[in-house]
Amino acid sequence: MAEKSETGLPRAVMIAWGMEEAPQRGPSRGLSHERIVGAGIEIADAEGLGAVTMQAIAKSLGFTTMSLYRYVSSKDELLLLMQDAALKLPEKARLPEGWREGLRAWAELVREAYRAHPWVLGIPRGQSSVLMPNSMRAADLGLGVLGDLDLDMEAKVGTILVVSQLAASMVELEGDLAAEGLLATTSAGSALLGEVITPERFPHIAGLFATDAWVGGEEPGEDVPVIDGGTLGVDDEFGLGLSLIIDGLERRETRRGD
Contact 41, 62 (CB under 8 A): no
Residues 173 and 253 in one domain: yes
Q: In DSSP terms, which residues pair with 10 in a beta bridge?
A: 4
Over residues 55-92, the pLDDT tens digits come to 999 999 999 999 999 999 999 999 999 999 999 999 88
Over residues 92-104, the pLDDT tens digits come to 888 999 999 999 9
Residues 54 and 152 in one domain: no
Q: Residue 23: what pLDDT?
A: 64
Domain-located, residue 217: yes
Task: Give the contacts of 185 (CB within 8 A, at least 6 positions apart).
Answer: 193, 223, 224, 226
Counting other chains too, the contacts that 176-185 makes at CB distance below 8 Å and 24 or more residues apart are 177/231, 177/232, 177/234, 182/225, 182/230, 182/231, 183/225, 183/226, 183/227, 184/223, 184/224, 184/225, 184/226, 185/223, 185/224, 185/226
List, run by run, the mean pLDDT of 10-residue segments along the chain (258 residues).
Answer: 72 91 62 95 97 97 93 94 96 90 97 97 91 96 94 94 96 89 75 86 80 45 55 80 95 78
This prediction has a pTM of: 0.85
Residues 20 and 46 in one domain: yes
Residues 127 and 146 in one domain: yes
- Which conformational region is residue 216 in: left (phi greater than 0), alpha (psi within -120 to 50 degrees), or beta? left
Contact 99, 147 (CB under 8 A): yes
Domain extent at residue 200:
184-225
- H or E element that contains 184: strand 184-185
Q: Residue 2: what pLDDT?
A: 58
Domain-located, residue 39: yes
Domain-located, residue 156: yes
Residues 66 and 132 in one domain: no
Q: How many domains does the chain have?
A: 3
